[in-house]
Each structure stands twice: as C-alpha cells, then as structure tokens.
Amino acid sequence: MNQVRPSAPQLAGLEPYDPKYLPARALLSANENPHDVDEDVRRAVMRELGRLPLNRYPDPLANDLRDLIAEANGLGREQVLVGNGGDELLFNLALAWGGPGRTFLNLPPTFSVYDANARLTNTTVANVPRLPDFSIDEDAVLARVAEGDIDYLVVTSPNNPTGKLADEAFLYALLEATDALVMVDEAYFEFSRMTMRPALEQHENLVILRTFSKAFSLAGVRLGYLLGNAAVISEFVKVRQPYSVDAVSQAVARVVYANRAKFEPGITAIIAERQRVFESLKKIPGVTPFPSDANYVLFRLDRAAEAWQALYESGILVRDFSRAPMLEGCLRVSIGSPEENDAFLAALRDFEMGGKPA
Ligand SMILES: *Cc1c(COP(=O)(O)O)cnc(C)c1O
C-alpha cells in the first residue's frame, strides 16, 4: 500500500502549536525569565545529576519533588501532581474532564492550548468572550455555568496574553456557582503574587496550575505542577503518562525549588521593569499598552505586523497576535533585562516616530 487512511477526524483543520521562535538578539516572545539559573544553583544541579542512576526508571510520581512543593504550599503529597511542563497537565485536564459529550468553557482571548486540547479530545468548546478591555464577562460566565452542562473551565490569572488577574471575589463566586472543575492557571503567579491556594479547602472543584518555566528560569526543563484536592489529583493520575517527568527534570526541579528564595530579587526586578515598560509604552504616540500583573505587556498599535517586522530587523523578537481573533493589532513583549527592554522601547519609538524624541 502506498497510501494511508485519514487520521482521526478531529485533527482536520487543527494547526500544530507554533511558538514562532526565531533567532534574535533580544528574545522577548515567550515570557521566559531573561536570566538563567545562577552559577551556585547550576553547580548544585550538576552535583545532583552526577549521582543519578540513568539506567533506572524515574519515580513515576516524583514524590520527593511533590513533597517539597506540598510542604511549601501547606498541603500533603496527594494534593500535588507534577507534569512534563504545565502543558502536559493541561492535556491531562482535557483527557480527564473532557471527551465526547462533554463541554469545556473557554474565556477567549486566552492561552490557545486549552482550546486545542479540547478539540483533540472531541470535547465541545463553549466560549464566553472577554469584554473589550479583556476583563472577564463575569455575569455571562456565571449565567453560562448555571446552565449546568459545563464539565470544566480554565480561568487564566494573570491571563495570557492580555496580562490581568481575574477578580478574586469573582473566582470565589464561580467556585460556589458550579460543580464543574475550575482550573485557575497561575503560570505567572510569582509575578502577580496572588493565588487561589486558600480556596482549596472549601472548594473540591478547584485545581491550580503552576510552572517552573517562567519565574524559575526552567522553560528548557519542562516541569509544571498542580495543586488540588486529593480526589481531583487522583483522577489526573489515571490519565497521565507514568514516566512523563524524567529523572533529570525531577532532579533539576528539586534543586531549583529548594533554592527558590534566590529567584526573588530577579522576580522583584522584573515586576519593577514591567511598570517601567508599561509607562514608557504609554508615552509612545499611537501605542496603547494593557496593564499587566505578569512578566509581559500586551500593546495595540496601527500597522502592528509592520512594527513586528521592524522590531525583528532591530534584533528584537516579540510575539505577534495581530491576526488572532479579538487581538487585532496587538503585540506582546516579555519583560527582559533592562538593556533588552531599552532596546525594545528605542526600536518601537523609532518605528512610531521615525527617530523623533519622545
Ligand atoms: C507558559 C504557560 C503555561 C505552562 O507552560 P509550560 O512551559 O508548559 O510549563 C501554562 N499556562 C499559561 C497561560 C502559560 O503562559
């Protein structure tokens, strides 16, 4: 046979996720930490790796790492689960709470992975679009879950790519209003310093997603985790790949997590730079930045695709959302080092004002 039958029907029209990485002097497109782990932590990682038996399978559930995370969050091991990046746990969410005949509530514009996972698993997607300022249409969400058919939803807080936290009172109202599984995606929690962790005791339907990829400089390692109630976590355990988190990733994450206090000054500096970038963007004529609680700023401008190209030609890679639904004319810049942020602002000023001083 020199032909193959079609793949599963839900794949028709699905575009593979493309982070649109390109080489550039300033990589400000993927919300990574601009600083790699420091030399001391790197040495400790190397010592730990030197002791690893590579011929043996890893601990499937990474219990040592789970215990570290659990203790830091005042939880037990059975209330924590680690995954191969937050992305794997998002896929597991769709496997465990989605599927044929089941419905996911999405709040676009938001992280595109949720919608893609729902489609892959033949889950129906219901959308409650955000308001023009990208805040959640809270009344519409509460009305939609009241219909009773939503099996799970994700509230991204801070939202990616738009930047703001969800309102805490709204999240509590939502958890009260539905028995759907509510995932609060706190991938940027270290930059917002706001968490729904205190709600776990009273709300069995809450699960929180976090990652080592952003604040903890480990995007290359692939490590994410869930905080949830034991009954919810055990459902995720049923669908996960037993050895998805390899021994090397477990070891790196253990060392980094044990040293997490060392990342605090860097996080504080990024928060300060976020404010400076936001204020500087406001002063560029024709540019409208959206307030952010994360480590990136979304901004809107005319000729956004041309601006993206001009920035790229200046060695600065930002993320182009200008053709994405509801994000027309928008680019997203990750907060980099002060030098990278200056180079970005200078290049954008140059594009908008042709070199005229601001
Ligand atoms: C980055 C990110 C994640 C998880 O990323 P991983 O690198 O897979 O851990 C999850 N949600 C959002 C909104 C993100 O931006």
73 and 260 Cβ atoms separated by less than 8 Å:
no
Per-residue pLDDT band at 355 (split at 50, 70, 90): low
Per-residue pLDDT band at 357 (split at 50, 70, 90): low
Between 184 and 356, residue with greater pLDDT: 184
With the most atoms of ligand 1 within 8 angstroms of its CB, the residue from 93, 214, 249 to mutate is 214
Whether 192 is in the pocket of ligand 1, judged by its Cβ within 6 Å, is no
* pLDDT > 90 in the chain, percent: 95
Per-residue pLDDT band at 14 (split at 50, 70, 90): confident
Q: How many residues does the chain have?
A: 358
Parallel, antiparallel or unpaired: strands 152-156 and 181-185: parallel
Assign 3-state DSSP to the chain and report helix, strand, coil percentages, each to 5: 40, 15, 45
Atom of ligand 1 minimally distant from the CA of 160: 13
Parallel, antiparallel or unpaired: strands 26-27 and 316-317: parallel
320 and 30 Cβ atoms separated by less than 8 Å:
no
**pLDDT single digits (tens) 203-220:** 999 999 999 999 999 999
CA 251 to centroid of ligand 1, rounded, Å? 20
Per-residue pLDDT band at 15 (split at 50, 70, 90): confident
With the most atoms of ligand 1 within 8 angstroms of its CB, the residue from 17, 211, 334 to mutate is 211
Whether 219 is in the pocket of ligand 1, judged by its Cβ within 6 Å, is yes
Output the pLDDT for position 173: 98
Give me the mean pLDDT over the 92-109 stretch: 98
Whether 88 is in the pocket of ligand 1, judged by its Cβ within 6 Å, is no
Determine the distance from the C-alpha atom of residue 301 to the mean position of all C-alpha atoms in its chain, rounded to a whole number.
Answer: 24
Whether 106 is in the pocket of ligand 1, judged by its Cβ within 6 Å, is no
Whether 32 is in the pocket of ligand 1, judged by its Cβ within 6 Å, is no
Residue 311 pLDDT greater than 60, yes or no: yes
**pLDDT single digits (tens) 149-189:** 999 999 999 999 999 999 999 999 999 999 999 999 999 99
Sheet holding 319-320: strands in order across? 287-289, 296-301, 330-334, 319-320
26 and 340 Cβ atoms separated by less than 8 Å:
yes
Atom of ligand 1 minimally distant from the CA of 86: 9
**pLDDT single digits (tens) 48-79:** 999 999 999 999 999 999 999 999 999 999 99
Q: Which two tokens stand for residue 193?
A: 């310093």
**pLDDT single digits (tens) 230-275:** 999 999 999 999 999 999 999 999 999 999 999 999 999 999 999 9
Distances (CA, A) of 115 to 25, 103, 121, 211, 270: 32, 11, 10, 19, 29
Atom of ligand 1 minimally distant from the CA of 223: 9
Residue 97 pLDDT greater than 70, yes or no: yes
Residue 356 pLDDT greater than 80, yes or no: no
Cβ-in-10-Å burial (0-12, 13-18, 19+) of 307 comes to: buried
Per-residue pLDDT band at 42 (split at 50, 70, 90): very high
174 and 206 Cβ atoms separated by less than 8 Å:
no
- Which helix (H) or strand (E) covers residue 48, if one does? helix 39-50
Whether 111 is in the pocket of ligand 1, judged by its Cβ within 6 Å, is yes
> Atom 2 in ligand 1: which residue has the minimum CA distance?
187
With the most atoms of ligand 1 within 8 angstroms of its CB, the residue from 17, 213, 295 to mutate is 213
Residue 96 pLDDT greater than 60, yes or no: yes
Whether 58 is in the pocket of ligand 1, judged by its Cβ within 6 Å, is no
Atom of ligand 1 minimally distant from the CA of 213: 7
Residue spans of alpha helices (H) in 204-303: 230-239, 247-258, 264-282
Q: Which of 140, 134, 137 is nearest to 161 (CA)?
A: 134
Placement of tokens 């790196």 in the chain:
252
Residue 358 pLDDT greater than 80, yes or no: no
Give me the mean pLDDT over the 24-46 stretch: 97
Average of per-residue pLDDT values in the chain? 97
Output the pLDDT for position 127: 98
